[in-house]
Amino acid sequence: MVFITEDMIKQLQTSMDEIAEPLQKTFQNVHQGYRPETLVRFLKARDGSVSKANKMLVDCLNWRIDNEIDQILAKPIVPTDFYRGVRDTQLVGMSGYTREGLPVVAVGVGLSTYDKASIHYYIQSHIQMNEYRDRMILPSASKKFGRYIGTCVKVLDMTGLKLSALNQIKLLTAISTIDDLNYPEKTDTYYIVNAPYIFSACWKVVRPLLQERTKKKVQVLSGSGKDELLKIMDYASLPHFCKREGSGSSKHSRNGTNDNCFSFDHTFHQQLYDYTKQQALASEAVAPSKEGSVHVTLPEPDPDDAKIAETIESTFQRMGEKNGICQSFHEIKINGN
């Protein structure tokens, strides 16, 4: 792993001081007052190359301006029932925090179907969760714990993997590429749980293709992973599918509350949706908003990522003839974030 020096940070900072005002403005939403720490993320993503990190960051800022990312939290997906359908088929949520203060993001890899809306709505929803995490969740955690917190941990539930998920490669590739290029180094560790028997065979094929820093971030846990995860977080912060063996991504409640962090009714999603509606009302005082999905320009995947996607697809197609299982190592990124 490349060690990021103070000199690298200063060089990149000097370059960023010279960018145009519109880029400076959107950069504020990226760094949220933590400029050096943000520069370190981009430097890590480009293995310490100042020139490559500078290009990556400037490209990111231009992407934000071109696609109005600064305003995306003021564009709720409506109507509410339609958004509920998005949430029911794009299983992502936040279940709590680790004892060190890192947000715990849960992903229902195997049971996400992405079949209730167009690709644009799912990408819009994904970016909104990224932006809410970076603008609200992480700054709040940093203040609460009295230190900079700029990453999260992700718990990936592989329950329900099946071959039909190969149809989702285009969407998953788009999401992972957006994260790779515009939200680098935001995940500290990926914990894979409820992995089916066939997972190990697939992992052997994919793992050699990953960057070394990504390999170090991935931990495949036994069963629901509860015992291992309880070493870094309290029981209350465990994703619902980790709280008992064999529970998978099923819905269940605790003490009369919705314990399924994927659900639209969960506190995290209610707060996020309420925030987007409040921001929309504030922005409409300036200019009326338009309904419909936000069409974000989809970047071309990195050649290495494209190779990984092709390897995953061909591997699962071969395995599917015997086992009928799905893909989703893409969610691990496969991009190192």
pLDDT tens-digit profile of 162-186? 766 567 778 888 899 999 999 999 9
Separation between Cα atoms, residue 279 and residue 76, nearest integer Å: 9
Residue 89 has pLDDT above 80, yes or no: yes
Residue 78 has pLDDT above 60, yes or no: yes
Question: Which one-letter amino acid corresponds to residue 293?
Answer: S
- Mean pLDDT of the residues in the chain: 86
The mean pLDDT of 45-69, rounded to a whole number, is 97
pLDDT tens-digit profile of 91-118? 999 999 999 999 999 999 989 999 999 9
The SS3 assignment for 218 reads strand
Per-residue confidence (pLDDT) for residue 201, from 0 to 100: 67
Residue 188 has pLDDT above 90, yes or no: yes
Per-residue confidence (pLDDT) for residue 336, from 0 to 100: 47
Per-residue confidence (pLDDT) for residue 247, from 0 to 100: 45
| Residue 154: φ, ψ to 5° | -120, 135
Residue 50 has pLDDT above 90, yes or no: yes
The mean pLDDT of 120-149, rounded to a whole number, is 97
Write 194-199 long-range contacts (CB < 8 A, 24+).
194/110, 194/157, 194/158, 194/159, 194/223, 194/224, 194/225, 194/241, 194/248, 195/158, 195/220, 196/158, 196/161, 196/325, 198/319, 198/323, 198/325, 199/158, 199/161
- Bridge partners (DSSP) of residue 258 are 253
Residue 258 has pLDDT above 60, yes or no: yes
Q: Which CA distances in Å does 136 have to 140, 141, 184?
A: 6, 9, 18
Per-residue confidence (pLDDT) for residue 2, from 0 to 100: 83
Separation between Cα atoms, residue 182 and residue 59, nearest integer Å: 8
Residue 286 has pLDDT above 80, yes or no: no
Residue 60 CB partners (closer than 8 Å, separation 6+): 30, 42, 181, 182
Q: Which CA distances in Å does 50 have to 25, 38, 57, 211?
A: 21, 13, 10, 19
The SS3 assignment for 31 reads helix
Per-residue confidence (pLDDT) for residue 204, from 0 to 100: 75
Residue 124 has pLDDT above 90, yes or no: yes
Residue 16 has pLDDT above 90, yes or no: yes
Per-residue confidence (pLDDT) for residue 334, from 0 to 100: 43
Which of 106-110, 217-221, 319-323 has the lowest average pLDDT? 319-323
Per-residue confidence (pLDDT) for residue 279, from 0 to 100: 96
Per-residue confidence (pLDDT) for residue 325, from 0 to 100: 42
Tell me what percent of the residues of the chain surpass a pLDDT of 90. 66
Per-residue confidence (pLDDT) for residue 163, from 0 to 100: 63
- Bridge partners (DSSP) of residue 157 are 108, 193
pLDDT tens-digit profile of 139-161? 999 999 999 999 999 999 998 87
- The token pair that represents 231 in the structure block: 């070493």
